[in-house]
Amino acid sequence: MLRQLQALPLPCYLASISALDRYFHRPFGQNLYVAVRGSLVDLARMHDTLEYPGVDEWDAALPNGEGYIYFRCVEEDAEYAGFGYAVLDMLFEPRTETFFDRADAYHQLRSARLSARNPDDDASFWEGAVLSARYGYDVERVSPPCVSVMRTLSAAAQRRQLIDVLCGSFAWKGLQILMDGGAVHALWPELQPMNGTVHSKEEHPEGNVWQHSLETLRYRKSTDLTLTMALLLHDSGKPHARRTRERAFDQHAELGTRTAVSLLRRLQFSRQFIDNVTWLIRNHMLPGNLHRLPTYRSEKAMASPLFPLLLELYRCDLCSTYRGPDGYYRACKVYRSFLKNRANPFRAVDGKKLLRLYVE
């Protein structure tokens, strides 16, 4: 991506959290932010496929997986408009590999706590959640926008905010800010009931379903968006599940897929992304029962390229409870055996010798 920016005829800079990702040596997220020294007309001449999603502060965008490359045009003699937090005014010029600290915020980068320039500015609420989620900053409390203002956010703007928070190394901190500030209730009401659904303290010491889902994010080995979205939503069906003698939340995985489809379609995620996330949610109970199931019951799932991601979801789910990771290692053992047998032309996937099967 940096090479592509270097090749553009106009001066381009990594901006906002993309500049900070570069500064902190973090991998770039699904969304990339670029400041262009020029006009929107100049930018349009460089890209025939530019989109204009109507996202505040960003003039145009190009698709980038489930996210976008967002462009902000700055005229040659114009001042670069500031963000709610001074650290977001940092720019990175890829040709010379130089950082530009336009707001004299260098001393803030290594601090643990950030203050907004204007705590009453609506944008500061969203920026604070993203900064907290991506870099672990504690942000001083700012006034969240009123519900009516939040609900005017377009689907593209909502998706951008959610992706930026979820792809952060401290995603649970940003998500809690959004919950406490009323953004979850206003924009993603499918998730709000999770915060009022109590878990058994014997297996879930972290608290209710929402708190448990946030806790699972602490154990991710990567900030992969598919995995992270599935972790956030894997128990979203529990508020709607009924209690039976055998199960506290009967069929919650199936109910959770409906919640995920409702939310992700409204936020205009791709069909493939929705299919992948819902597959993980629907099957998230499978790894724990893998050792009990005959191979013909689990073969199709284990053959899926998503199964390693499902195992990672299961590991994060287990590690956030009292149960520990033993079930994960047991499931990995079954999966490794399946892969070994599937690659062996003389054995069936359940390990039985094929020649003996044919003779018998």
pLDDT of the chain, 360 residues: tens digit per residue = 556 565 566 788 999 999 999 999 998 889 999 998 877 787 787 777 788 876 677 888 888 889 999 998 876 544 555 788 999 999 999 888 999 998 889 999 989 999 998 888 888 999 999 999 999 999 988 889 898 889 999 999 999 999 999 999 999 999 999 999 999 999 999 999 999 888 766 666 667 999 999 999 999 999 999 999 999 999 999 988 888 777 767 789 899 999 999 999 999 999 999 999 999 999 999 999 999 999 889 999 999 999 999 999 999 999 988 888 899 999 999 999 999 988 877 677 777 766 554 444
Closest residue by Cα to residue 217 from 320, 135, 333: 320
DSSP-H helix ranges across the chain = 2-7, 16-23, 40-46, 106-109, 122-135, 147-150, 155-166, 171-180, 183-187, 209-217, 225-233, 252-266, 271-282, 286-289, 295-302, 307-319, 326-342, 354-359
Half-sphere exposure of 54 (CA within 13 A, CB side): 6
Torsion sign over Cα 271, 273, 274, 278: positive
DSSP code of 239? G
Q: What is the pLDDT of residue 1?
A: 55
Is 247 domain-assigned? yes
Q: What is the pLDDT of residue 243?
A: 80
As a residue count, the chain comes to 360
- 3-class state of residue 15 by DSSP: strand
How far apart CA 300 and CA 288 sit, in angstroms, is 16
Q: Where does residue 3 rank: exposed (0-12), middle (13-18), buried (19+ CB within 10 A)?
A: exposed
Angle formed at CA 83 by CA 82 and CA 85, multiple of 5 degrees:
120
Q: What is the pLDDT of residue 5?
A: 60
DSSP notation for 311-334: HHHHHHHHHTSSS-SHHHHHHHHH
Q: What is the pLDDT of residue 12?
A: 87
The CA dihedral of 134, 192, 322, 327, to the nearest 10 degrees, is -80
- Are 24 and 8 spatial neighbours (Cβ–Cβ below 8 Å)? no
Q: What is the pLDDT of residue 48?
A: 76
Is 349 domain-assigned? yes
The answer to whether the predicted template modeling score (pTM) of the entire model surpasses 0.85 is yes
Residue 256 backbone phi and psi in degrees, to 5: -65, -30
Is 256 domain-assigned? yes
How far apart CA 20 and CA 249 sit, in angstroms, is 42
Residues of the domain holding 254: 217-360
Is 245 domain-assigned? yes
Is 325 domain-assigned? yes
How far apart CA 306 and CA 280 sit, in angstroms, is 8
**Tally of domains within the chain:** 1
- Are 36 and 42 spatial neighbours (Cβ–Cβ below 8 Å)? yes
How far apart CA 279 and CA 273 sit, in angstroms, is 10
Q: What is the pLDDT of residue 59?
A: 86
Angle formed at CA 199 by CA 238 and CA 226, multiple of 5 degrees:
50
Closest residue by Cα to residue 280 from 327, 332, 317, 249: 317
Is 334 domain-assigned? yes
Closest residue by Cα to residue 20 from 132, 134, 96: 134
Is 202 domain-assigned? no
Question: How does strand 67-74 pair with strand 90-93?
Answer: unpaired
Is 262 domain-assigned? yes
